[in-house]
């Protein structure tokens, strides 16, 4: 069933016009403060509370994976690792039954506190930077060449190089367990760098650090921070679409969540759109620890805590509709409005009778052209996929979200 969506030019929030003529504001039509005139996203979008129940893909992972803490999809299989004081092994597992398909032993390394996995086209990165006590001075990322991995065998051994780093903004290392803001459990590869996100036990924010992928020793400083209202435990990147996801939980109320970050601005992720999706509680969802993309879908794994360690899936395409669209029109004035009831889209406006309405998808492709009637025009949209569409009448363009 589709729901009513009204996005018109009639009630527009105040906008900010820069010296270059760009209109700054919220560019996502799903946001409560959407500005239809905005041409430059300023990261101000506000969203209603949204709750999802992820689909269970595998209800129970192998007993060797009870502390799954990182997740990637590589070589047509999911890979994970266990966190602190476990063997220095990466595990590939069957997404249907949880059985282990392959083990990669990292022969020259130990597992101090492995907390996340990341990858690019040539390497896998292991985040050995878990820091519950806030006193570690040996933070590092292990770097494995994908070309060294033999996927045809059930097990193999590789060596890893190391990226050593310190948090340049941490000056004290005398903390109480889980009572500080210098823990780390999340990172992913984006562009030519690794992007790390702190797990703040106290202020429930996260700080974003950028680390080179080249082995060496570095001091990294926060690029930005924003409030996530919880503790971040994992990160995943979809570079093709420019989307990042953070996952975690709130220790205070045991809620689980993901944050979707998109329409990213030059690596300053908090300046794009930021939408939190509630996933239930630790009691029902488990202690979610890791997240990755497989195609457009999002997958999450959780440690065994009240519930079994498992693999779950979330579809997030419907939430990232605010990306830049391929077609733009000049807005002259309010000439029409549009709303949806059931399977029908209704168009009504002044002085539009006899004119042509063009419907474009989010890539700018023309989907349909309709001649508008004298009064209200109804269009059956049942066959359209859920997402953002552009309605164009001459030089007037409106974004509308059609929801299943």
CB atoms within 10 A of CB 233: 27
Spell out the residues 6+ positions from residue 171 whose beta carbon is closer than 8 angstroms to its own: none
Q: Give me the pLDDT at residue 160, please.
A: 98
Q: Closest by alpha carbon to 239, among 100, 109, 121, 390? A: 121
Convert the pLDDT of each residue in 306-352 to its tens digit.
Answer: 899 999 999 998 888 644 333 333 334 446 778 888 888 888 887 78
Q: How far is CA 333 from the centre of its chain?
A: 36
- Per-residue pLDDT, averaged over 245-257, amounts to 95
Confidence of residue 87 (pLDDT cuts 50, 70, 90): very high
Show the domains of the chain with their CATH numbers. 50-319 (2.120.10), 328-402 (2.60.40.3080)
Rounded CA gap, 256 and 230, in Å?
9
| CB 111, CB 86: distance < 8 Å | yes
Given the structure tokens 């949209």, which residue do they identify?
A: 381
| CB 91, CB 149: distance < 8 Å | no
Convert the pLDDT of each residue in 102-158 to its tens digit.
Answer: 999 999 999 999 999 999 999 999 999 999 999 999 999 999 999 999 999 999 999
| CB 160, CB 215: distance < 8 Å | no
Burial class (CB in 10 A: 0-12, 13-18, 19+), 307: middle
Check whether 212 has a pLDDT greater than 80: yes
Q: Give me the pLDDT at residue 58, please.
A: 97
CB atoms within 10 A of CB 49: 7
**What whole-number percentage of the chain has pLDDT above 90?**
62
Given the structure tokens 């292991």, which residue do they identify?
A: 126
Token output for 295? 């195609």
Phi and psi, residue 319, nearest 5°:
-95, -10
Check whether 59 has a pLDDT greater than 90: yes
Average predicted confidence (pLDDT) for the chain:
87
pTM, entire model: 0.77
Q: Give me the pLDDT at residue 5, please.
A: 32
Question: What string of DSSP letters covers 338-363?
Answer: EEEETTEEEEEETT-TTPEEEEEETT
Confidence of residue 399 (pLDDT cuts 50, 70, 90): confident
| CB 387, CB 317: distance < 8 Å | yes
Token output for 6? 């009204």
In what order do the strands lie in the sheet containing 161-167? 114-119, 123-128, 140-145, 161-167, 216-220
Check whether 372 has a pLDDT greater than 70: yes
Confidence of residue 21 (pLDDT cuts 50, 70, 90): low
- Per-residue pLDDT, averaged over 223-237, amounts to 96
Token output for 273? 């759109």
Phi and psi, residue 244, nearest 5°:
-125, 145
Phi and psi, residue 65, nearest 5°:
-120, 30
Q: Give me the pLDDT at residue 15, please.
A: 38
| CB 98, CB 112: distance < 8 Å | no
Task: Output 339 or 220, whichever has higher pLDDT.
Answer: 220
Rounded CA gap, 154 and 157, in Å?
11
| CB 243, CB 321: distance < 8 Å | no
Q: Give me the pLDDT at residue 115, please.
A: 98
Range with lowest mean pLDDT among 200-209, 213-222, 237-246, 264-273: 264-273
In what order do the strands lie in the sheet containing 377-380? 336-341, 344-349, 377-380
């Amino acid at each position: 069933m589709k729901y009513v969506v009204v996005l018109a030019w009639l009630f527009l929030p105040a906008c900010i016009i820069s010296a270059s003529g760009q209109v700054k504001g919220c560019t996502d039509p799903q946001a409560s403060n959407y500005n239809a005139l905005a041409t430059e996203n300023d990261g101000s979008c506000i969203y209603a509370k949204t709750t999802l129940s992820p689909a269970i893909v595998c209800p129970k992972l192998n007993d060797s994976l009870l502390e799954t803490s990182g997740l990637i999809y590589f070589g047509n299989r999911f890979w994970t690792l266990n966190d602190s004081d476990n063997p220095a092994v990466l595990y590939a597992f069957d997404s249907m039954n949880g059985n282990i398909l392959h083990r990669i032993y990292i022969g020259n390394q130990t597992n101090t506190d492995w907390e996340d996995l990341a990858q690019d086209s040539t390497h896998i990165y292991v985040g050995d930077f878990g820091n519950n006590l806030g006193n570690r001075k040996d933070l590092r990322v292990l770097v494995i060449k994908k070309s060294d991995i033999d996927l045809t065998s059930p097990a193999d051994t590789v060596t890893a190089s190391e990226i050593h780093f310190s948090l340049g903004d941490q000056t004290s290392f005398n903390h109480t367990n889980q009572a500080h803001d210098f823990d780390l459990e999340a990172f992913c590869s984006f562009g030519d760098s690794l992007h790390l996100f702190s797990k703040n036990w106290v202020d429930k924010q996260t700080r974003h650090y950028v680390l080179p992928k080249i082995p060496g020793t570095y001091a990294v400083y926060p690029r930005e921070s924003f409030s996530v209202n919880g503790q971040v435990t994992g990160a995943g990147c979809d570079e093709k679409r420019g989307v990042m996801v953070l996952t975690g939980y709130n220790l205070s109320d045991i809620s689980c969540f993901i944050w979707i970050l998109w329409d990213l601005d030059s690596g300053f992720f908090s300046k794009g759109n930021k939408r939190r999706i509630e996933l239930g509680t630790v009691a029902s969802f488990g202690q979610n620890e890791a997240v990755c993309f497989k195609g457009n879908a999002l997958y999450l794994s959780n440690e065994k805590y009240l519930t079994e360690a498992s693999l779950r899936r979330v579809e997030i395409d419907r939430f990232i509709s605010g990306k830049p669209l391929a077609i733009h029109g000049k807005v002259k004035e309010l000439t029409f409005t549009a709303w949806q009831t059931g399977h029908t889209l209704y168009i009504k406006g002044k002085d539009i009778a006899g004119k042509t309405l063009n419907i474009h998808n989010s890539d700018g492709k023309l989907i349909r052209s309709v001649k508008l009637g004298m009064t209200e025009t109804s269009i059956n949209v049942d066959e359209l996929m859920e997402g953002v569409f552009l309605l164009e009448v001459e030089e007037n363009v409106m974004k509308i979200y059609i929801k299943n």
